[in-house]
Amino acid sequence: MGLFDKIKHAFVKDKEEEQKTEEATQEEEKVSEPAEETTEPTEAEETTEETTTDAEFPADEKPEETEEVEEVEPADTEKKYEKGLAKTRRTFKDRMNELFANFRSVDEDFFEEVENTLIGADVGFDTSMRIADELREEVKIQNAKKPAAVQNTIIEKLVDLYEEEGEKEVNELNEQPNGLSVFLFVGVNGTGKTTSIGKLAHQYQQEGKKVLLAAADTFRAGAIDQLVEWGARAEVDVVRGNAGSDPASVVFDAMTQAKEEQADVLLIDTAGRLQNKVNLMNELDKIKRVIKREDPTAPHEVLLVVDATTGQNAMNQAQQFKETTDVTGLVLTKLDGTAKGGIVLAIRNELHLPVKLAGLGERIDDLEVFDPNDFVVGLFKGLLQEE
C-alpha cells in the first residue's frame, strides 16, 4: 500500500470511529433502546477494540488480556507522536483553512498562495515550489476545482514526493551485531546532544547491552558534568578527561576502554560551538581519525543533532555540517510541542539526510527510533477532506 493510501485508510478509519463514538453517545442517551450496528463492516473493522465502548462489549466478550498487553508498546509510542505532532498538525490545518477561506477560483494567485502556505508550514522552499507546479498540472488534467479535491491533491502530492525521495533512505541506526558500535554525536549548542546520548544509553542499557559514553566536549566543564550525570541516570560508565583537555585523547581513552571491556556501544559527545566553525570541524576530523585508527570501520554513525523548534535554522545547520563532515543521519529533538514538524519533509526532500531518532521530551525515555511513514501519516491524516 502506498503512503497516501495509508493516510486515506487512516482518515476513513478516523471518520468511522468518530461516527461510532457519536452513535455510542446517542445510544447511551436512549438507554432503553437496544444497541444497533449501523455502519457497514469494512477492512477497518480490525480496530474494533479501540473504538467500541464497554456498553457494546459485555465483560465476557472482552479481548484477551494478552492482546491488550501487546498493544501497550506501540500505542504508547503512537500517543507520544500524536501528542508531539499536535501543534504541527494544528498549524498545517490553520494554514490550509486560511488558504481555502479566501478561495475564489483556481488561478495563478491561488497557486502562489499555495506556495506561501507550504513555505510557512516549513516544508521547504523547493518542495513548496514543486508541489505548486505539480498542482498546476494536475488541476489542468483533472479539472479539479472544488476546494476539498484541491486540498486532497495538495496532500497527495506532498506525500508522494516525500515517499519518492525516501526510497533508498535507511532510518535504522547502523548497529554492529558482532562488535563495538561507535556513534559520534555532533551539532551546535543546546540542540540536545548530551540529552539524546543519555536517552539512547538508557535504551541500550535496558536491552542488556554494555554501553560506554565519552565526554569529548571538554570545552565546557559543565558539559562533562552533564554527561556524567546522564551516565549515572542511565547506569553506564563515562570516560572523561579534565576540562580543557584534548577531546581526541578522551576519545582515544574511550576506544581503548571499550575494546578492553568488550563494550557493545560507545556514544561520543562533542562540543557544539559554531562561532569557531573551522576549529570545530578540525576537531571533529581529529576525533574521527583517532576512532578510525582504533577501528577502521568506525564511526558507524555520525549523528547530527538538530532542534526541530528552530525550523529553517536547523535546516541551515544540517546543510553546513553536511558540507564539512560526513553526517550519516539526524537526531531531530524537541519535536514535542513544536509547530515546525513540517521540516521533516524538507529534511528528506532537500537535504537527503535520514532522520534516525526523534526527541519527544526531556525525560530519559523520550527518545524514539524515527518512523518516517508513521510520522507523515500522523501529520496528514487529519487534513484530508471528504470529497
Please report, as ranges, the residues that interact with ligand GTP according to CB under 6 A: 187, 189-195, 217, 223, 226, 272, 305, 333-334, 336, 359-362, 366
Minimal distance, residue 192 CB to ligand GTP, in Å: 3
Q: Applying CB under 5 A, which part among 140-148, 220-228, 235-243, 256-264 lies near Mg ion?
A: 220-228
Gyration radius of the chain's alpha carbons:
24
We find the least distance from the C-beta atom of residue 206 to ligand GTP, in angstroms, to be 18
Please, which residue, 194 or 349, has the CB nearer to Mg ion?
194
Decide whether 150 or 302 has the Cβ nearer to ligand GTP.
302
- 122 vs 366 by CB, closer to Mg ion: 366
User: Which of Mg ion, ligand GTP, none is residue 291 near (CB under 5 to 8 Å by kind)?
Assistant: none
The rounded Cα 43 to chain-centroid distance in angstroms is: 28
Burial class (CB in 10 A: 0-12, 13-18, 19+), 160: middle
Taking the complex as a whole, the smallest distance from the CB of residue 185 to Mg ion amounts, in Å, to: 9
CA angle 354, 357, 358 (to 5 degrees): 115
* Cα distance between residue 115 and residue 120, in whole Å: 9
Q: How far apart are CA 302 and CA 265, in angstroms?
A: 14
What whole-number distance in Å separates Cα of residue 41 and Cα of residue 52? 14
Q: How far is the CB of 109 from ligand GTP (least distance, A)?
A: 39
Question: Which residue lies nearer to ligand GTP by CB, 129 or 281?
Answer: 281
Residue type, 385: Q
In the complex with ligand GTP, the residue whose CB is nearer, 150 or 357, is 357
Is position 194 an interface residue for Mg ion (rule: CB under 5 A)?
Answer: yes
Site mask for Mg ion (CB under 5 A), range 235-264, x = bound:
------------------------------
Closer Cβ to ligand GTP, 115 or 366, answer by number:
366
Cα–Cα distance for residue pair 222/219, rounded to 1 Å: 9
Region near Mg ion per CB under 5 A, out of 175-183, 221-229, 275-283, 344-352: 221-229
CA angle 185, 216, 198 (to 5 degrees): 55
- Smaller CB distance to ligand GTP: residue 114 or 331? 331
Rounded to a whole number of angstroms, the minimum distance from the CB of residue 352 to ligand GTP is: 23
If the CB atoms of residues 161 and 223 are measured against Mg ion, the closer one turns out to be 223
- Which residue is closest to Mg ion by CB? 194
List the single partner that 362 binds among Mg ion, ligand GTP, none, CB under 5 to 8 Å by kind. Answer: ligand GTP
Rounded to 5 degrees, what angle do the CA atoms 154, 155, 161 make? 90
Residue of closest CB approach to ligand GTP: 359
The burial of 94, by beta-carbon neighbours within 10 Å (0-12 exposed, 13-18 middle, 19 or more buried), is given as middle
Distance of closest approach, residue 385 Cβ to Mg ion, in angstroms: 44
Q: Binding residues for Mg ion, per CB under 5 A?
A: 193-194, 223
